[in-house]
Chain A
Amino acid sequence: MTDILMPALSPTMEEGVLAKWHIKVGDTVSAGDVIAEIETDKATMEVEAVDEGEVLEILVAEGTEGVKVNTLIARLAGDDAAPAPKKAEAAPAAAAAPAKEAPKTEAPKAAPAPVAASGERIFASPLARRLAAMAGLDLKAIKGTGPHGRIVKRDVEAAQASGGASASAPAAAAAAPAAAKATPSLAQLGIPDGTYDLVPLDGMRKAIARRLVDSVNNVPHFPLFIDVELDALMAARAQINKMLEPRGIKVSVNDFVIKAAAMALKAVPEANASYTPEGIAMHHHADVSMAVAIDGGLITPIIRKAETKGLAQIATESKDLAKRARDRKLKPEEFQGGTFSVSNLGMFGIKQFTSIINEPQGCIMSVGAGEKRPVVKNGELAVATVMTVTLTCDHRVVDGAVGARFLQAFKPLLEEPLSMLA
């Protein structure tokens, strides 16, 4: 028998929505078959079978939300080869061998029910589970010393004695802050029930809420504004697109912005940085996240090493990423781990706006609409195509002068696009 567990689609994924089953009991699957779709914070991912066999049981219904990573979701019949007998143990290794990364995913329940039908596996003894729940300790924060790293009574007692692993420890910090504070209901705030429809929070909405609240609470933000003239860029863009037409590539203003931002980040590497408690991470490459609005939220796919890429390549990649983002077909590595973000609301005619830092990135750039504006040139009034760019900085890593130097490097790249070739 083969257990199929809820996969972790990204290193940080804790739970997801089992959006769709592609199999039913009795089906025979082979390795590589798509068996389910999992919706996470950010994307919908297809899950492929790793083993082959007949589907014996489907344990989590389609549409179930909050399915914890490593929950047993289905079972395949497989050849029940008994586990190979252990080889003669190498003396100390056998005992010292660290317990396998046990998927200790379950938060303690007030009264641990017998293993639920969903088959959540907890490597903790029943008594340890209960004691932890009684003491308000988080099992995830307790190191097990029992067989195979199982958490046993003595481990909970030790955690209790050392005062560690309290429920307010790391795991709880990850929980939605909304849940931590009692939020007054809408009725309490004077909006009676029945006067609105309630749209359930999906994974993406919850993630947006959590991440942005965290960012606003954690990061000392400040914005810097700069105007960029685009006339030369528009001319260059027309020329480039004409050249690229036979290849079916069309470079957008945003692609220029990404390219210029990446080059400016190389020129001012202090702006390509992340704050960590251990120190400031100076990123080697400009991995530029571009905000893509999609149904029900947004997502930020990444142009990796954008400083090394030409406009045509950036245009091709951004188009592909945006399309797959809208289809919710991005892989986690395609939207996690950028070093700088670009958000563009120019197409909506927004003149200027200030984005919220996309942690742990040091800066996010908000790009407004390019519009004809009166400008003063050589003491005379003139008309130019101008867009306003805002750089929101995390003051812990990017001080005002650093942000300013970055914009100083960024602006001429767009105003004189040929300089991007230099």
Chain B
Amino acid sequence: MSDFDLVVIGSGPGGYVAAIRASQLGLKVAIVERENLGGICLNWGCIPTKALLKSGEKFESLSHLKEYGLSASGASFDFDAIIQRSRGVAKQLTQGVGFLMKKNKIEVIEGTAKLEKGTAAPQVVVTLNKGGERIVNAKNVMLAVGARARALPQIGLEADGDKIWAYRDALAPKKLPKTFVVIGSGAIGIEFASFYRALGADVTVVEAVDRIMPVEDEEVSKAAQKGFEKRGIKFKTGAKVTKVTKTANGVSVAIEVGGKAETLEAEVCISAVGITANTDGIGLEALGVELDRGHIKTDSHCQTNVKGLYAIGDCAGAPWLAHKASHEGIHAAEHIAGFKTPNVNSPIAGCTYAQPQVASVGVTEQGAREAKREVKIGRFPFRVNGKAIASGDTEGFVKVIFDAKTGALIGAHMIGHEVTEMIQGYVTAITMEATEEDIHGIVYPHPTMSEAMHEAALDAYGRVIHI
């Protein structure tokens, strides 16, 4: 009856990882992809933006050579080459996914899937890219269809690829505009602002909430804004966008700040106001798949309310992060294979790769206080960390939050150089249910910036050494 044990729809970091895991467990797996293997993450998200940001960071670092006793002249960049490098990186990784599919004997079906009523699980009808249709029956179907940039047509915020960009346009522009208004100060907005500012553009970021990066801890938001402003990015916080109008030379963005109307002019407006789950056009309504505020509703094993139908990643709700999707994909694949792992919940860190970087996991101080949790908070600035001073990377700090009653580490927030590489230390600690005693007992290698992670945890208990 069934052609496959599992058909995964969508080959982003949730879908392709789930497919590989399922295949490792002996399941017969197919994956349906309408565009490129690797999904947004590899092609139009995480990876190509990191390539751009690295170019921006390297270029920016040239202006600090003197601090290190170095000099160079005639520093410049080739914008097309920067973009080409980024596209090349994406292509390389997409091919890598193709290789992994082959290696794991996962059949890749290129086309657009739609679900219909089936027996064990919904039937998957694929409109093939090469033409024609293919009906696939599987014992299990996993939706890993992701999300796309949110558009706000009511205020004229709809990407056109010319004057109003969404992430995809911002990743492969034909030329480098001189002025930007970025709407939204989440990770995506901040990363593009950081990149284009590093290349010298005039960038203003508009944020509706009264602080930038609103999901981060307030102290981090504040420090981040300072750090970005030092690099020349301008911010309009508590600013409501009322209208985005295309003009002859670019766009005009009408905002309201504290009841006062203002207008921002720029060549290009980048829209980074959140995402919309790709739940439309796949037949969910007819199957009666339950949604929750636009996302597919799932249980602790990523199962939807429809038998045999799983949903993972962006389409199944926040946080909209690749690693969350992969984690859910693995859990769901293992659940299909009969594993009894209790649930999918694990702490998910968030990372923003601007200059300075921001990384966090678990609760914020405000979140803890709102939940009336008694907490112990520790902080440690990089400016007194030996390695940071030696490297000239003294910006930022580490902040940790412990549950005062149990000593459990429940939140960690970092801003500074390469903190996105460091946060996993705290992720490991939280996942393994470490208490303050465990972290205090860890020997952090010297000299490293990660020593600040130890000091912050010591500080929470009045034991900080280097302050």
CB of B408 within 8 A of chain A?
yes
Cβ of A108 to closest chain B Cβ, rounded Å: 13
CB-contacts of B218-274 with A (<8 A) = none
Residues of A contacting B341 with CB < 8 Å?
A: 95
A134: which of B406, B434, B438, B441 is its contact (CB, 8 Å)? B406
Q: Convert B431-446 into 0s and 1s, putting 1 for each residue whose CB lies closer than 8 angstroms to a CB of A.
A: 0111101100100000
CB–CB A126/B338 < 8 A: no
B438 nearest CB neighbor, chain A only: A126
Chain B residues positioned under 8 Å from A152 (CB to CB): 433
Nearest-CB residue, chain A, relative to B335: A95
Given A126-B435, A153-B433, CB of A145 within 8 Å of CB of B342: yes
Task: Give the residues from 82 to 114 in chain A that come closer than 8 angstroms, CB to CB, to chain B.
Answer: 88-92, 94-96, 112-114
Interface hits, A145-197 → B, CB 8 Å: 145, 152-154
Given the complex of chains A and B, what is the CA–CA distance between A92 and B26 in angstroms? 10
Q: Which residues of A contact B437 (CB under 8 A)?
A: 112-114, 126
Tell me the number of A-to-B contacts counted with CB atoms below 8 Å: 58
Q: Among the interface residues A126, A131, A153, which one has the most CB atoms of the partner chain B within 10 A?
A: A126
Q: B342 touching A125 by the CB < 8 A rule?
A: no
Tell me the residues in window 328-343 of chain B with beta carbons closer than 8 Å to chain A beta carbons: 334, 337-342
Q: How far is the CA of A152 from the CA of B434 in the complex (A)?
A: 11
Q: Is A128 an interface residue (CB 8 A)?
A: yes
Measured in the bound complex, the distance between the Cα atoms of B405 and A130 in whole Å is 10
A31 within 8 A of B: no
Chain A residues near B337: list those with CB within 8 A.
91-92, 95
Chain A residues near B432 (CB, 8 Å)? Answer: 125-126
For the complex, give the distance between the alpha carbons of A126 and B435 in Å.
6
Given A114-B441, A154-B342, A127 and B24 contact (CB-CB distance below 8 Å): no
Q: Given the complex, which residues of B lie within 8 Å of A92, measured CB to CB?
A: 337-339
1/0 contact string of B10-34 vs chain A (CB within 8 Å): 0000000000000011110000000
Give the residue of A95, A112, A128 whose beta carbon is less than 8 angstroms from that of B339: A95
Within 8 A of B (CB), among A36-91: 88-91
Q: Are B433 and A91 in contact (CB under 8 A)?
A: no
| A112-B437, A114-B437 given; A130·B407 CB < 8 A | yes
Residues in A whose Cβ lies below 8 Å from that of B338? 91-92, 95-96
A291 to B109, CA, bound (A): 79
**A128 CB contact (under 8 Å) in B27, B334, B433, B438:** B433
Chain B residues near A96 (CB, 8 Å)? 338-340
The residue that A130 contacts in the complex, of B24, B342, B435, with Cβ under 8 A, is B435
Most chain B beta carbons < 10 A, residue from A91, A131, A154: A91
Q: Closest CB-CB distance, B388 to chain A, in whole Å?
A: 28
When chains A and B are docked, how far (Å) is the Cα of A282 from the Cα of B190?
Answer: 79
Residue of A nearest to B410 (CB): A127
A131 to B435, CA, bound (A): 11
Whether B433 pairs with A127 at a CB distance below 8 angstroms is yes
CB distance from B431 to the nearest CB of A (A): 9
A89 CA to B337 CA, complexed, in Å: 11
B contact residues around A90 at 8 Å (CB): 26
CA distance A126 to B432 in the complex (A): 8
Q: Chain A residues with Cβ under 8 A from B441's Cβ?
A: 114
| A113 partner residues in chain B, CB cutoff 8 A | 437
Q: Which residue of A lies closest to B342 (CB)?
A: A145
Contact with A along B410-445 (1 / 0, CB 8 A): 000000000000000000000011110110010000
Please determine whether B406 and A91 come into contact, CB atoms closer than 8 angstroms.
Answer: no
Known: A89-B25, A131-B406. A126 touches B339 (CB 8 A): no
Chain A residues with CB under 8 Å of B405's CB are 134
Q: Which of A95, A114, A128 has the most CB of B within 10 A?
A: A95
Q: Which residue of B lies closest to A112 (CB)?
A: B437
**Are A94 and B339 in contact, CB atoms less than 8 angstroms apart?**
yes
Q: Is the CB of B334 within 8 A of A95?
A: yes
> Taking the nearest CB of chain B, how far is it from the CB of A138, in angstroms?
18
Closest chain A residue to B436 by CB distance? A126
What's the Cα separation between A381 and B338 when bound, in Å? 85
B411 to chain A, nearest CB (A): 14
Which of B26, B342, B406 contacts A127, CB < 8 Å? B406
Instruction: Tell me, rounded to whole Å, the shortest Cβ–Cβ distance linking A154 to chain B.
Output: 7
Closest chain-B Cβ to A299's Cβ sits at a distance in Å of: 43
Residues of B within 8 A of A153 (CB): 408, 433
Residue of A nearest to B430 (CB): A127
Closest chain A residue to B437, Cβ basis = A114
A114 closest partner in B (C-beta): B441
The 8 A CB mask of A27-38 against B (1 = contact, 0 = none) is 000000000000
Query: A95–B333 Cα gap in the complex (Å)?
Result: 12
Q: How far is the CA of A290 from the CA of B239 in the complex (A)?
A: 91
Cβ distance B374 to chain A, nearest Cβ, rounded Å: 14
Distance of B22 from chain A, by nearest CB (Å): 9
CA of A92 to CA of B407, assembled, Å: 36
Give complex CA distance A422, B427 in Å: 79
In the complex, what's the smallest C-beta–C-beta distance from B454 to chain A, in angstroms?
14
* A126 CB → nearest B CB, Å: 5
Q: Which residues of B contact A134 (CB under 8 A)?
A: 405-406
Are B433 and A126 in touch, CB under 8 angstroms?
yes
**Cα distance A112–B437 in the bound complex, in angstroms:** 9
Q: How far is the CA of A90 from the CA of B342 in the complex (A)?
A: 19
Q: Please, how many angstroms separate the alpha-carbon atoms of A90 and B405 in the complex?
A: 42
In angstroms, Cα B341 to Cα A240, docked, is 70
Report Cα–Cα, A91/B26, bound state, in Å. 7
| Distance of B412 from chain A, by nearest CB (Å) | 15
- Residues of chain A with a CB closer than 8 A to B342's CB: 145, 154
How many Å lie between the Cα of A358 and that of B27 in the bound state?
57
What sequence of 0s and 1s flags, for each residue 75-86 of chain B, a beta carbon within 8 Å of any chain A beta carbon?
000000000000
Which of B434, B435, B441 has most A Cβ within 10 Å?
A: B435
Q: Which residues of A contact B438 (CB under 8 A)?
A: 114, 126
Tell me which residues across on chain B come within 8 A of A131, comparing CB atoms: 406
Contact indicator B406/A88 (Cβ below 8 Å): no
User: Bound complex: CA of A127 vs CA of B340, how far in Å?
Assistant: 22
- Known: A114-B441, A153-B433. Is A130-B339 also a contact (CB below 8 A)? no
Name the CB-closest residue of B to A93.
B338
Chain A residues whose CB sits within 8 angstroms of the CB of B434 once the complex forms: 125-127
Q: Nearest residue in B to A95 (C-beta to C-beta)?
A: B339
Among B27, B339, B434, the one with the most A-chain Cβ atoms within 10 Å of its Cβ is B339
A145–B300 Cα gap in the complex (Å)?
Answer: 15
Assembled-state Cα–Cα distance A298/B26 (Å):
60
- Interface of B with A (CB < 8 Å)? 24-27, 334, 337-342, 405-408, 432-435, 437-438, 441
In the A-B complex, the 3 residue pairs with the closest CB atoms: A92-B338, A95-B339, A125-B433
Residues on A close to B: CB < 8 A?
A: 88-92, 94-96, 112-114, 125-128, 130-131, 134, 145, 152-154
17 contacts between A and B (CB under 8 A): A89-B24, A89-B25, A90-B26, A91-B26, A91-B337, A91-B338, A95-B338, A95-B339, A112-B437, A113-B437, A114-B437, A114-B438, A114-B441, A126-B433, A126-B437, A153-B408, A153-B433
Given contacts A113-B437, A154-B342, 4 further A-B contacts (CB under 8 A): A92-B339, A114-B438, A128-B433, A152-B433
